[in-house]
Chains A and B, each alone.
Chain A
Amino acid sequence: MIWLDTLVQGMMLGGLYALFAAGLSLVFGIMRLVNLAHGDLIVLGAYLILGIGTATGLNPFVAAALALPLMFALGWVLQTALLNRVLGDDILPPLLVTFGLSVVIQNVLLQGYSADSRKLPVGAIESASMPVGPVTVGVMPLITFGSAILVILALNWLFYHTALGRAFRATSDDPVTAQLMGIRPRRIFAIATGIALVVATIAALYLGARANFDPSIGPARLLYAFEAVIIGGLGSLWGTLAGGMVIGVAQAFGAALNPEWQILAGHIAFVAVLLVRPRGLFPRAND
Chain B
Amino acid sequence: MKTLVTGLIGLAVMVALALVPVLGPRILVQDLFKVLCLLVLALNWNLLAGFAGLVSVGQQAFVGVGAYVMFATTILWGWDPLAGVLVGGVVAMALSIPVAFFAFRLNGAYFAIGTWAVADIARLSFGQWRALGGGTGTALPRDATREMLGVDAVRELLGVSAAAAVDAMTYWLALLLASALLLGCWLFLRSRMGLGLQAVRDNPVAAQSVGVDPTRLKALVFLLTAFATGLCGALLFIQIGRISPDAAFSLLDWTAFVIFIVVIGGIGTLPGPIVGVLVFYGLQRLLSDYGTVYLIALGLIGIAVMLFARRGLWGGLIDRLGFDPLPLGHAAPQKSPRDIQEERP
Contacts and interface: CB of A to CB of B under 8 A. Distances in A.
A66 interface: no
A267 interface: yes
Contact of A274 (B108, B114, B303): B114
B105 interface: yes
Contacts of A92: 49, 55, 267
A85 to B, nearest CB: 6
B307 A264 contact: no
B321 interface: no
Contacts of A223: 113, 116-117, 120
B310 A99 contact: no
B208 interface: no
Contacts of B260: 100, 103
Nearest to B296: A107
Nearest to B304: A100
Interface string A164-196: 000000000000000000000000000000000
Interface string A190-216: 000000000000000000000000000
Interface stretch (B11-19, B140-148, B287-295): B287-295
A125 interface: no
B112 A107 contact: no
Contact of A111 (B49, B117, B292, B303): B292
B298 interface: yes
B81 interface: no
A271 B108 contact: no
B128 A267 contact: no
B269 to A, nearest CB: 14
Given A103-B295, A110-B292, A263-B120, A97 B105 contact: no
B124 A267 contact: yes
Contact of B135 (A28, A36, A104, A260): A260
Interface of B: 49, 55, 57, 102, 105-110, 112-114, 116-118, 120-121, 124-125, 127-128, 135, 251, 256, 259-260, 263, 267, 291-293, 295-296, 298-300, 302-303, 306-307, 310
8 contacts: A95-B55, A99-B259, A260-B128, A267-B117, A270-B117, A274-B114, A287-B108, A287-B110
